[in-house]
Structure formats: structure tokens, C-alpha cells
Amino acid sequence: MDPFNADAFVRILALVGGIIVVAALLSGLVDRTGLPQVLVFLGLGAVLGPSGLALLDVGLDSGPLRVVATLSLALVLFSDAITIDLVELRRNGLVALLVVGPGTILTAALIGLAGWGLLGLAPAAAAILGAALASTDPVLLKSVLRARDLPNVARQALRIESGVNDAVLLPIVLVGMAFLSQSAGASHDWARFAIDLLVLGPASGVAVGVVSVATLDLIRRRIGVTRDYESLYAIGTALAAYAAAEALHGSGFLAAFAAGATIAALDVELCDCFIEYGQTTAEMALLFTFVLLGGSLIWSGIGLLNGPIVLFAVAAVLLRPLVYLVSLAPVRLEPKARIAIAWFGPRGLSSLLLVLLPVFGGIPGTDYLFALCSVVVLLSLVVHGGTPVVMASVIRSRERARGESAVAATPGAAPAPIALAALPGGPESLDTPEAEGSTSDGVIVENPDRISIAELRGLWEHGSPVTILDVRTERSYNREPLQAAGSVRLQPDHVVERARELDLPRDSWIVAYCT
């Protein structure tokens, strides 16, 4: 790397570092409003880009963009696979099959046909664009999946779809790239390509996943591994799988997905650890890429807007709901769940990363595909990104109305403080007394943030009111649905709001446990 490029890369890192700090500070506000966090990164990228402060200008041929985008896609595929809950997948097998099979593939096919018919794209180019725009973005879906009034079956279906559909769509993109390369005059060995795509890539990922799990299990038993470093170990496994497949001329991206799926099947503890900590690292890589693209690249399609492109963009957003409503017809679902599954198909960074593959491959004309994809992503950010904001507003209005009704029913009543604790190994408490220790009926709890089994038994023996909460993650709960006797199931997202909904007693100790 020459000195100019090195300086530019350092400048980009400094800018993005500052942006991540600002976005982190705004995360609480973003979470309360339901606004997708990617909009913050995208907006800051635009401010720093050529049309703003001119501090950030990244082209499609940028080395840093290629490195970051490649890393992001590998981590997206790996984290998609490692978060697959096999118990949940079997429980919702038919819905999963319909959304990942006919839902995803028919959506990609119809968007491709729209690109071919409306924009005159070559069939292979249209197939690439259709596959990229059929991908749902896991980062944008986070705010949707956290919505409390989202039906559980819809939440499970969307989670499964976002975790699996990229692995279905990636081969379409790779095959389309091969056809475009051949049409551009490059020779192509289709037998070798099939082996690389279907055998070497997945096999490399499975091999690396098996070796990683076996090695970690051995070191766990002999020496021990801290939980935080297991997350880093998972990320290292993803990168090792990608590198191993690329060294064998296979698809590193398919290898990353295969490695994640192997770990999900063999090592549940590592999966939970990765979800808690390592997935945040993967998300930061995605948002890092969004900053680079937000400087100028993602806006490149706006200058190309005309009637056919606008019509294509609208069709790309609206075709999915129609396809999914038809695809889900064989399943009996309540209308609210069916509409939610069909509507929430946000296009975001995963679509851009897929369409960037032929651009990085140097295939002529594919920068136009990136511009078209950017137009649809921007439209989806507005349409799908705005939906959770409206949902959150409606929920807050309902809660406010319920709260006012409750106050009116009991004039002068003031909520009492909730004393909370967590069992060893459990999550942080919702709220805790300020004192170092707390006393109840003669029983001293040394640390209200973390209560011992002996202290809990002491509270019971002295007749102190105690409520036990099961706050295990959905994956852990699905694996072992047995609960502590008398406990209340409470999912660990938006804990305070859910505790209020359950009307937990305010004059008792609330003890949360997980595994």
C-alpha cells in the first residue's frame, strides 16, 4: 500500500471511529424511537461525504471498502448461521420452508424479471440484482423483532428467514457472475466452478467448524476458556473458514456460513456466547461499511432516476408482500402474523454486499447494478425503517392510555420501588437499591445485584415476598423449557416494560436467573 492510500485509510478509520462513538451515545434514543440505527450511520456518512464536509470520499474501487465489505459479508453469513436455533427451526419447519424456499426464490425471480423487462438488463445481471434485493437485512430487522406486539410466529419466521436466505441467494449471485464473465469473453470451466461452489466452499467451512469446536472443547476441559474470548474465538473461526475456502479456490462466503451452521449444531454454549457479545462485533463491521457507502456511493443511483427505475424500485419493494402472502397460504396463521411476515422485508447492507461481489470481481457494467440496488435500499430504509417507528408510537400511546386509566382508578397511588437481584451467572437487574447491602426481615443480602442461593433460601424461610424470573435467552429456553418452580417466564429484551406488563409485585424481591 503506497503512503497516500495508507494515509487515506487512517483518515477513514479516524472518521468512522468518531462516528461509532456518536452512534453509541445516541443508541438509547434510537432504541426508544424505534428508528433503525443504520440511518444514523448513513446520515453521518452523508454529512462527511463530498456533498457535506468533504472529509470522506470512497469509490467502488477503494481498497478499504473492498476489505471492509468482504469482512462484513463473511461475518453476516457466519452470524446468520450461528444464530440458527435448530429447535426453533424444527418447531416452525413448514413456515421456515415456505419463507426460505418459495418466498425467497420467487421474490428473487420476480424482481429479476422486473429488472429484465423494465430496465433491459441481461438475464444474468437481472438474476444477480433480483437475488441481492431478495435478501432481508438482519440489522434493520432487529428493531422489528423487538416489537412487543409482533406475533411470536412472525418473529420466529422473520428470524429464520434473515438467518438462512443469504445462503440461498449467494449461489445465485455467484452463478450470475460466472455467466457475465463468460459473456464478457472470459473462459469458464463449469465443472470446476460447480466443484468450487458446491463442494470446496461448504466442505472447508464444515471442516474448520468441526476442528474449532473440538479444539475449544479440549481446551475448556484441560485449561478453561473465558466467555468473552469464546466470542473472539467464534469470529476467528469465521475468518479462518473464509481463508481456508479461498485458498482452495472455493467460496469463502459459503464456507463462513457452513462453519457457523456447524458450530450451531455442535456447540450451543459457544452460540449463546457469540450472540451475547460477538454478534455486536459483526454488527459494527456492517455499520462501518454503511458509513463508507453513505459518503457518496449509496446516493449514486439518485442521479439515474427515471420512470422505469422508479417503477422498478417500487416493484422491488411491493413484490415481496404479494409473493409471501401466496407462499404462506398453506399455513394457518392469524392475519396479523401473515401480514407482518409478508411486509417486513427490509433491504439494507446485505443486499449491497451481495451486489458488490460482481463489482469487486471487475465484471464490466456491474456498477450500474450497484446504483440500482442503492435506489431500492434507500426506498426500503424509508418505508420499512419507518414502520417500527409508527409501531413504537402506537405502543407508547396505548401504554400511556393504560397508565392514565390506572392512575385514575387509584388516585393518589404512587409506585413503590422494586428491589431486584440476580442469581449467580444471571443477567443484570432491572433496578437496584443504592445501598451496598439490603435487609429484609432480618435477612441480609450483601449485594442486591447478585444474590446467592443461601440468601434466597433465607428470604423464603423468613417469609419475605420473592418473585422468581426466568430470563434465559430464547435459544436456551427452547433447548430446556423446564423452569424453576413458581418462576415467571420473562424474555430478556425490554425487561422493565415487560415487568410492568406482567404487573409484577412492587413490594417483593425479584430474582432473575438464566443458564
- pLDDT tens per residue, range 261-279: 898 888 666 656 666 666 6
pLDDT band at 10 (very low <50, low <70, confident <90, very high): confident
Q: How confident is the model at residue 388 (pLDDT cuts 50, 70, 90)?
A: low
Pick 4 or 92 by higher pLDDT: 92
Does residue 198 carry a pLDDT above 50?
yes
Whether residue 32 lies inside any domain: the answer is no
Q: The domain that contains 178 carries what CATH number?
A: 1.20.1530.20
Flag whether 184 is in a domain.
yes
- Say if residue 211's pLDDT is above 60: yes
Do 380 and 447 fall into the same domain?
no
Q: Per-residue pLDDT averaged across 22-28, rounded?
A: 72
Tell me, what's the pLDDT at 425?
40
Least confident of 326-335, 408-417, 435-444, 454-463: 408-417
In a domain, residue 36? The reply is no
Rounded average pLDDT over 101-111: 94
Q: How far is CA 54 from the centre of its chain?
A: 31
- How far is Cα 390 from Cα 344, in angstroms, rounded to an integer? 13
Residue 421 phi, psi dihedral angles, 5° rounding = -145, 170
DSSP secondary-structure letter at 418? P
88 and 160 co-located in one domain: yes
Residue 477 lies in a domain: yes
Of how many residues is the chain composed? 515
| Cell 455467466 found at | 179
Average predicted confidence (pLDDT) for the chain: 78
In this prediction, residue 480 has a pLDDT band, given cuts at 50, 70 and 90, of low
| One domain, residues 169 and 90 | yes
Confidence of residue 436 (pLDDT cuts 50, 70, 90): very low
- The grid coordinates listed for 183 are 459473456
- With respect to residue 414, please indicate whether it lies within any of the assigned structural domains: no
pLDDT of residue 395: 54
pLDDT, position 410? 46
Please say whether the beta carbons of 12 and 64 come within 8 A: yes
Quick: pLDDT tens for 224-258: 777 767 777 888 899 999 999 999 888 899 999 99
340 burial via Cβ count (<10 Å: 0-12, 13-18, 19+): buried
In a domain, 37, yes or no: no
On whether both 79 and 159 belong to a single domain, the answer is yes
- Mean pLDDT across the stretch 487-507? 69
Q: Are residues 428 and 488 in the same domain?
A: yes
Q: Are residues 171 and 268 in the same domain?
A: yes
Find cell 422486473 and name the residue: 114
* 8 Å CB contact between 496 and 441: no
Give the pLDDT score at 431: 38
- Among the listed residues 407, 511, 414, the one whose alpha carbon sits nearest the alpha carbon of residue 456: 511
In this structure, which amino acid lies at residue 158?
L
Beta pairing, strands 419-422 & 443-445 = unpaired
Q: Give me the mean pLDDT over the 345-374 stretch.
A: 90
The whole-number pLDDT of residue 247 equals: 92
Separation between Cα atoms, residue 122 and residue 119, nearest integer Å:
9
The yes-or-no verdict on residue 294 having pLDDT over 80 is no
pLDDT class of 285 with cuts at 50, 70, 90? confident
Q: How far is CA 364 from CA 130, 180, 299, in A?
A: 18, 9, 20
Range of the domain at 451: 419-513
Where does the pLDDT of residue 134 fall: very low under 50, low under 70, confident under 90, or very high at 90 and above? very high
The answer to whether residues 464 and 388 belong to one domain is no
SS3 content of the chain, % helix, strand, coil (to 5): 70, 5, 25
- Please report, rounded to a whole number, the percentage of residues in the chain having pLDDT higher than 70: 73
Q: Is residue 317 predicted with pLDDT exceeding 90?
A: yes
For 186, phi then psi, to 5°, come to: -80, 140
DSSP type of residue 26: T
Answer whether residue 347 is part of any domain: yes
Same domain membership, residue 385 and residue 430: no
Shared domain for 334 and 479, answered yes or no, is: no
pLDDT at res. 66: 87
- Say yes or no: 387 and 429 in one domain: no
3-state class of 71 per DSSP?
helix
CA distance 192 to 178: 12
The domain tally of the chain equals: 2
pLDDT for 429 equals 36
Domain identity same for 334 and 453: no
pTM: 0.75
**What does the pLDDT average to over 378-399?**
71
SS (H, E, C) 230-279: HHHHHHHHHHHHHHHHHHCCCCHHHHHHHHHHHHHHHCHHHHHHHHHHHH
CA dihedral defined by 232, 234, 238, 243, rounded to 10 degrees?
70
| 28: in domain | no
Task: Name the burial class of residue 59, with classes exposed (0-12), middle (13-18) and buried (19+) by CB atoms within 10 angstroms of its CB.
Answer: exposed
Phi and psi for 176 in degrees, rounded to 5? Answer: -60, -40
Contact 133, 371 (CB under 8 A): no
Q: Which residue would you say has higher pLDDT here, 168 or 398?
A: 168
CA distance 477 to 133: 34
For residues 311-337, average pLDDT = 91
The Cα 446–Cα 229 span in angstroms is 30
Spell out the residues 6+ positions from residue 134 whose beta carbon is closer than 8 angstroms to its own. 104, 105, 107, 108, 111, 165, 169, 320
Measured between its terminal Cα atoms, the distance across the chain in Å is 48
Q: Are residues 275 and 165 both part of a single domain?
A: yes
What would the pLDDT profile of 421-432 be if each residue is shown by its tens digit?
Answer: 444 444 333 333
Which among 132, 36, 48 is positioned nearest to 382, based on CA atoms? 36
